[in-house]
Structure 1
Amino acid sequence: MSLTELSASELLAGLEKSQFSAREIADELLKQSQEMAHLGGLAHLNSELFYQQADQSDARRARGEALALDGVPLVMKDNLNTTDMPTTSSTGALQGRVPLQDADVVTQLRKAGAVLPAKAVMHELAFGITTNNAATGPSRNPYDPNRIPGGSSGGTATVVAARQFPAGLGTDTGASVRLPAALCGLYGFRPTVGRYSGQGIVPLSPTRDTAGPMTRSLADISLLDSLLCQKAPSIIATPSLKELRLGVPRDSFWKEMDAGVADVTLAFLDDLQKAGVTLVDVDLSPVLKINARVGMPIVLYETLQNLPLYLAENKYGIGLDELIAGIHSPDVKEIFDAITGDYTISQEAYEEALNVDRPLMQQAYADLLRQSNVSGLIFPTSPLTACPIGDDETTMMNGKAVPTFNTYISRTDVGSNLGAPGISLPIGLSGGLPVGMLIEAGIGADDQLLALCRAIDPLLPATPAPDLSKHPRQRHSDKK
């Protein structure tokens, strides 16, 4: 088997057994990244840095000083600060900018010996879900290069699904790890906000922003989570399937979805039930009634407060006006023009959403889980598979035009506003495109969620890898 097909955990095991070296991994992944360059997943790839870090890892291992993740390459989203590569949030005004300090999550991975030579393209400034970025060109879905990978961590999803890197980090404010994972056949974990440090992430909303791993195996989610946690994860035994009780919000998140997605997700529910999992119908309406009052006021207000602070902290010498002037993508420019113009969020509206409505919503969610006696909720990550690139405003679902952004975030937005943990699991294909199932748990119940997913993981239908042999093979010079 090619090294490009191995997961992070499998690469680590092979390195520990001296089956191959970190330099050999670098050789294979660089070749794959060159051949998959047409997918537009990478914003920056430095082969010299790749080999340098790989050789340092091999030297540590030869001395018997190997670290927890030594020699395993990972790709970082372009809004995670790296002091040896630009961090641009894939926007015009930040091109070539190198921050003063690594993001804490990057520091944690470096301390574990990870090889970090690349940054992934994202939806410009993380304000969207298509990664059709006018500043960089679109990132493309490896299952169909004419379709979106999701966003805003679309480049990370593209790169991991295309076997350019075994795993990577994205960030999630409203959907941005879970959605691209679902659309590209990956696992994507959004932890409870605060489980990982948010220092050194180009901010949108610190209340909602969090880094999250995107991988091709559940074992890799657990591996990266254990290294990124600010405190040691609790060790929780994997429950038996007959112990599991999951809530199914049929009257909300199981309605209005693509017919093919419905077929795949309902079949998986049936598989869970046959395996002994108890499924409980739950009413999410008490949570949904509050959700609309929480999300946008918090994100839009905090963005305008925190982006200028980030620019100043890194001594970039530009302010918010220059940043906005450099935005290339029309959809993102429209948002910033609105929130700095006629759609400004008042401090009073922000504080009402943050200090009144959000706690009410969190309490309603906790009450729902407790009263239903369920460990979490289960529902499709997205009501449709990947749409064509260019469907920025509307796309088609079951023969009808629907709003692209609102449709794709319709299932993920609630968990973001709650600050709750969720994992998108790959459960097969519909029409040749991946489908994801989202499991969300109680706020702070990340370890329980991971244990629950370990129990379910053997039941997942195999999601075929994208047929990369049909893609045009090409070579390109390194992006430095």
Structure 2
Amino acid sequence: MTWTVDQQLALTATEAVAAIQSGRLKAADYMATLLARAASLSSLNALTTLDLDGALAAAQRIDALPPEAKAQLPLAGLPIVVKDNINTAGLQTSAGTPALEGFVPKTNAPSVQRLLDAGAIILGKANMHELAFGITSTNFATHAGPVRNPYDPTLIPGGSSGGTAAAIAARIVPAGLGTDTGGSTRIPAALTGTAGFRPSVGNGGAERRYHDPDAVVPISHTRDTVGPMARTVADIALLDGVITGAGALPTLTLNGLRIGLPEPLWEGLEKQVEDVAHAALRRLESAGVTFVPVAMSELETLNGHVGGPIAIHEPREDVLAWLVANNAPVKTVAEMAARIASPDVRAIYDGVLADVLGAHYDAALKQWRPRLQQYVAATFTDERLDALLFPTTRLAAVPIDDLNGSSTVSIDGAAPIDTMDAFLRNTDPASTSGIPGLSLAAGMTAGGLPVGLELDGPLGEDRRLLAIGVAFEQVLGVLPAPVL
């Protein structure tokens, strides 16, 4: 068949792979369409690197495979973008910061390699908040620039994986990889009407679902993880299965599901977000979901003792370890920090280098984090919950801050609050406790901005959480493409 450009752009990752595997769509034709799309939408600043020749050559190699070989590749010919802090052999890994601009690792991160082995093709590297230390993706480094939201280019796409989310929402690619330390796959997914996943991390070791040691420019070994991002939850499940080797999603029905609504994460919402979220609840309830309000009155206090000390103390050793392991062009964290371009990130790194929260680190890691983990686990058990559900972010996308990258926001005219704190409030507990979290589209505000809902699940129940997400998405639907 002959595919129009619009038909190709509309393909989800699952649909694109099926079309390429069957021979109905040439991988090279599809790649050429998406590369042209990326070039035409360069003003979104979604990408730091576009691999024109390499991506086309890889697509041609897929087309040259015998039909039976192509059919055995789970991601045959699938174009993806990879966040610019994840190691990719032959392509820049700069973490969006000047000191690492042009640095090319020798090997791929394991999560990337598994996707490539399954037939995926890297179209380019995705822009991000500098060094992943922010939620706006307003990058002041000269080689990048602020990522723009495809639904309104004057607004942020969320971060720090904003480039991956913007590329997916703009139909430059159907899927990609981000990283998540406090919400960096889920926040941009919510603000761009896409899906973003944070897999289980737990206490590391066997509890950590994705293993990418020394292959991601880090913030915190306790909190960091690579995570897939896509247009649909089904596509997230496809990538997650390839990375982990997991089988098919478990079957479930909405009838009988018990979903907790943590009260602190439903408070203080922007009215337009609250309206969309409650409308989604009504639709899900009509489909058979049982919602259970849960007080979780200690959640914010416990989380507050954990997140900051770990995220501000660990970069000094973790970033240095990455620089050394990868023979990076700068040799010390101080040398890298001296060239930071974004004012908000520079201010954070001043605190990192001074170890301003170091005195609280041991208590955060050894006392408060276990208490938080026990508290969250007990909530699932005591209330017999399959998952927790809440708005991914308290507010929809806000204007790009061209002066600082991230300063303050006001929710419905209330007193200004720190932008990063405002957007991290709901996503951070999953990160600090190490449980899986998934953001999916809930709907759109009256003004046409996406709103996300987050599902958090018990530790290690990632595939079941994704199955719930797929079922929810079938009720709520996916959002219309932005007009670009």
Could you say which TM-score interval applies, normalised by the shorter chain?
Answer: over 0.9
Which of 95, 100, 110 is matched with 1:104 structurally? 110
Per-residue deviation, 1:68: 1.8
TM-score, normalized by length of structure 1?
A: 0.94
Residue in structure 2 matched with residue 328 of structure 1 by the alignment: 341
Counterpart AA for 2:135: I
1:33 corresponds to which residue? 38
Task: Tell me which residue corresponds to 2:361.
Answer: 350
Alpha-carbon spacing, 1:368–1:342, altered in 2? closer, same or farther (3 Å): closer
What is the distance in 1 between the residues matched to 2:48 and 2:235?
23
Deviation per CA, 1:435-468, whole angstroms, max 9, x where unpaired? 0000101111112211222322211144221111
Alpha-carbon distance between aligned partners in 2 of 1:70 and 1:203, rounded to the nearest angstrom: 30
1:435 lines up with 2:451 in the alignment? yes
Residues 198 and 206, structure 1, Cα contact 8 Å, conserved in 2: no
- Among 449, 461, 476, the residue aligned to 1:445: 461
Q: In 2 relative to 1, CA 161–235 (structure 1 residues): closer, same or farther, beyond 3 Å? A: closer
In the alignment of these two chains, the number of paired residues is 463
> What displacement does 1:396 show?
2.6
Q: Secondary structure at the match of 1:417?
A: helix
Which of the numbers 421, 424, 436 marks the counterpart of 1:421?
A: 436
1:333-358 Cα shifts (integer Å, max 9, x gaps): 01111221261514xx3222112211
Alignment of 1:247-258 (within 5 A): 247-250=260-263, 252-258=264-270
Structure 2 Cα separation of the partners of residues 363 and 73 of structure 1: 40
1:384 aligns with 2:398: no
Cα deviation for residue 234 of structure 1 reads 5.5
CA distance in 2, matches of 1:214, 1:89: 18
- Rounded Cα–Cα distance in structure 2 between residues aligned with 1:235 and 1:16: 19
By how many angstroms is 1:238 displaced?
2.3
Displacement after TM superposition at 1:317 (Å): 4.1
Looking at structure 2, the residues matched to 17 and 198 of structure 1 have their Cα atoms a distance apart, in angstroms, of 32
Match of 1:399 among 404, 413, 436: 413
After superposition, the Cα gap between the structure-2 partners of 1:342 and 1:118, relative to the gap in structure 1 and judged at 3 Å, is closer
Question: Is the 1:238–1:454 Cα contact (8 Å) retained in structure 2?
Answer: no
Q: Output the amino acid matched with 1:42.
A: L
| Structure 1 SS opposite 2:38 | helix
Tell me how far apart the structure 1 counterparts of residues 122 and 460 of structure 2 sit (CA, whole Å): 29
Matched residue of 2:48: which SS?
strand
Q: Which amino acid counterpart does residue 220 of structure 1 have in structure 2?
A: D
TM-score, structure 2 normalization: 0.93
Matches within 5 A, 1:94-243: 94-135=100-141, 136-193=144-201, 194-199=208-213, 200-229=215-244, 232-233=245-246, 235=248, 237-243=250-256
Aligned residue number for residue 316 of structure 1 = 328
Structure 1 contact 4–163 (Cα < 8 Å) conserved: yes
Return the alpha-carbon distance in structure 2 between the equivalents of residues 152 and 324 of structure 1. 18
Aligned to 1:340: 353
- The one-letter amino acid of 1:447's match is R
1:286, distance to aligned residue in structure 2 (A): 2.7
Q: Over the residues paired in the alignment, what is the CA RMSD in angstroms?
A: 1.4
Match of 1:291 in 2: 303
Listed as ranges, the matches of 1:16-27 within 5 Å are 16-27=21-32
- Aligned residue identity for 1:304: R
Give the unaligned 5+ runs of structure 1: 469-480
2-side partners of 1:37 and 1:235: how far apart?
Answer: 37
Say which SS state the counterpart of residue 118 (structure 1) adopts: strand
Hey, what does 2:205 align to over in structure 1?
none
Q: Answer yes or no: is the 8 Å Cα contact 1:198–1:209 preserved in 2.
A: no
The code of the aligned residue for 2:324 comes to: A
Shift of 1:4: 1.6
* Residue correspondence of structure 1 range 434-473 to structure 2 within 5 A: 434-468=450-484
- Residue in 1 that maps onto 2:204: none
CA spacing shift, 1:418–1:328, aligned 2, 3 Å: same
Query: Which of 62, 69, 76 is the matching residue for 1:70?
Result: 76
Contact persistence 2:136–2:156 (CA under 8 A) = yes
Q: How far does residue 412 in structure 1 lie from its aligned partner after superposition?
A: 0.3
- Asked whether the 8 Å contact 1:238–1:452 carries over to 2, the reply is no
Shift of the 100–71 alpha-carbon distance from structure 1 to 2, 3 Å rule, reads: same
| CA shift for structure 1 position 393 | 0.6
Deviation at 1:197, TM superposition (A): 1.2
Give secondary structure in 2 for the equivalent of 1:458.
Answer: helix
SS in 1 for 2:88: coil
Q: 3-state DSSP class of the match of 2:438?
A: strand
Percent of paired sites with the same residue = 42
Larger mean CA deviation between 117-126 and 401-410 belongs to 401-410
**Does the CA contact (< 8 Å) of 1:69 and 1:112 recur in 2?**
yes
The verdict on how the C-alpha distance between 1:316 and 1:285 changes in structure 2, with shifts beyond 3 A counting, is same
Q: Distance in 2 between matches of 1:271 and 1:429?
A: 14
The answer to whether 1:366 aligns with 2:377 is: yes
1:86 is matched with 92
TM-superposition CA deviations, 1:232-258 (whole Å, max 9, x none): 4265532211120000113x1111111
CA distance in 2, matches of 1:8, 1:177: 17
Question: Residues 326 and 61 from structure 1, CA distance in 2 versus in 1: closer, same or farther, beyond 3 angstroms?
Answer: farther
Which residues of structure 2 form unaligned runs of 5+? 1-5, 202-207
The residue number in structure 1 matching 2:8 is 3
Secondary structure of 1:87's counterpart equals coil
- Does residue 1:264 correspond to 2:269, yes or no? no
CA distance in 1, matches of 2:426, 2:48: 29
**In structure 2, C-alpha distance between the alignment counterparts of 1:266 and 1:361, rounded to whole Å:** 27
Give me the whole-angstrom Cα distance separating, in 1, the residues matched to 2:136 and 2:358.
Answer: 25
Runs of 4+ in 1 over 4 A off after TM superposition: none
Write the distance in 2 (CA, Å) between the matches of 1:342 and 1:383: 30
String of CA shifts for 1:20-40, please: whole Å, max 9, x gaps.
Answer: 111001110011001110000
SS in 2 for 1:426: strand
Instruction: Report the Cα distance in structure 2 between the residues aligned to 1:440 and 1:61, rounded to whole angstroms.
Output: 42
Deviates more, 1:2-11 or 1:141-150: 2-11
Q: Which amino acid aligns with 1:411?
A: N
SS in structure 1 at match of 2:305: coil
CA contact (8 A) 1:206 1:302 kept: yes
